[in-house]
Amino acid sequence: MKRLYFGTDGVRGRFGDAVMNPDFVRKLANAAGRHVATKLDAGPKRVLVGRDTRASGTVLEAAVAEGFAAAGWDVGLLGVVPTPAVSLAVRELGAQLGVVITASHNPADDNGVKFFAGTGFKLPDAEEVAIEALLEVSCPAVARGAIGAVGDGKARYIAQALTRLPAGALRGWKIVLDTAHGATCETTRDVLAALGAELDLLGNAPDGRNINAGVGSEHPQQLAAQVLATGARVGIAHDGDGDRVVFCDETGSTLDGDEVMTFLALGKLRRGDLPGGTLVVTVQSNLGVDAALVAAGGRVVRTDVGDRYVSEALQREGAGLGGESSGHFIFPRVSPAGDGLLATLAVLRVMRDTGQPLSELRKALRKFPQAQKALKLAAKPPLESLPGVQALLRDAEAALGGSGRVMIRYSGTEPKVRLLVEVQTEAAVAEWFAKSEAALRAELPVL
């Protein structure tokens, strides 16, 4: 069954609209509480709630707490913490659910709600469908659960991260850190500083309105300029909720997630530390990733776009590393959630152990030429209902075979259609990109 409200990563929208408002969010939390309660044994039920730095976060936090309390759940408020800190907290504190109030890399006017099971994994599609089915179903009044603050979510997360590198491992390292005026302003800063790094901080003064505003993983230009200006060894930029990270090498050039995953996976493969020789990526990743892993004796498994689909595949495959080209990375033996700080520490460890800068490490990936574009839409008619687009995709598959691809998909979190063309030559990319964009503009309500 199709989900009406949930997208690729929870429910999102502009704060104050028909969905992202306190009344709807209260209903959503209540429905989630009622649904998950049917799967649990009798006894106390506890949910932990974290949020990022958006001004609307406190209002929605109250609505989430009220919705769960009305369903009989005890609610623990973690305050401002990165998304992966909530995943860790539910596992370590024995809660049955976790909730994060965030719109990730979206602007400050947006917000969202996403759920974690007691295992620390995001809820699967089927659970979200079941929650939506209860939104309009009235329920009898129940005793209210308790609501209270939980003060150690941030400290637990920092303590776990500090185990990933030896004490003093970054002494003498100059690092530019951009925390997007978001949830990682304290956590990543404190961890890197505790390891001895000399930090030049960007995006570290949240005011409720400036999250992701010209800073963070979506806007690395200032990061790159500061790396060059200061002679830093590396630049690091998170998104608003800290489940993603983008790196900038010492030359001021940003890396994408495919480059990072490739050198991390090849290093693990050489050390015999990549279970099954398997790296999990999404359909969005460059075909060069597959070529690099196969040449080294490994394999690549691809999933739909979304870090929870990567996480699910990691479980099925018993694999040890996965992620997305956008900068989500999952290290399942440490955490089932995408974690920008864990990824940061993994990259810094490789740099430290090999003595190589990022400008060298990134050469592990030779990308196929690629072009991408996102077109903003007034509506999203089913792609299969567009004959011109479908004909274009059939022609591309027949012509390109295994030497390239044309991929068209709707964004799961924004009113956009995303186009990706990847072929072995630049000329072929340009040809198929022009054909594909023309087909989309002919049949979709492009704004």
Q: What is the pLDDT of residue 141?
A: 64
What CATH class does 11-153 carry?
A: alpha beta
Q: What is the CATH number of domain 370-443?
A: 3.30.310.50
- Are 410 and 376 in contact by the 8 Å Cβ rule? The answer is no
Establish how many alpha carbons lie within 13 A of residue 146's alpha carbon, considering only the half-sphere containing its beta carbon: 7
Q: What is the pLDDT of residue 136?
A: 83
Active-site residue numbers?
A: 104
What is the mean pLDDT for each group of 10 consecutive residues in the chain (447 residues)? 82 95 96 94 93 98 96 96 97 96 96 96 93 84 83 90 96 98 98 98 98 97 97 98 97 97 97 96 92 94 91 94 96 94 98 97 94 94 95 93 87 88 92 95 95
Q: What is the pLDDT of residue 143?
A: 67
Q: Where are the domains of the chain?
A: 11-153, 157-248, 257-338, 370-443
Q: Decide whether 11-153 matches 370-443 in CATH topology.
A: no
DSSP calls for 111-136: EEEEEEETTSSBPPHHHHHHHHHTTT
Q: Is 157-248 CATH 3.40.120.10?
A: yes
Q: What is the pLDDT of residue 317?
A: 95
Q: What is the pLDDT of residue 61?
A: 98
Q: What pTM does this model have?
A: 0.88
Q: What is the pLDDT of residue 256?
A: 94
Residues with Cβ within 8 Å of residue 281, at least 6 apart in sequence: 258, 261, 289, 300, 301, 302, 303, 310, 322, 323, 324, 325
CA distances from 122 to 74, 300, 405 (A): 20, 22, 30
CA dihedral 38, 43, 44, 50 (to 10 degrees): -40
Q: Which two tokens stand for residue 436?
A: 């594909």
Q: What is the pLDDT of residue 412?
A: 75
Q: Compute φ and ψ for 213, nearest 5 degrees.
A: -80, 95
Q: What is the CATH number of domain 257-338?
A: 3.40.120.10
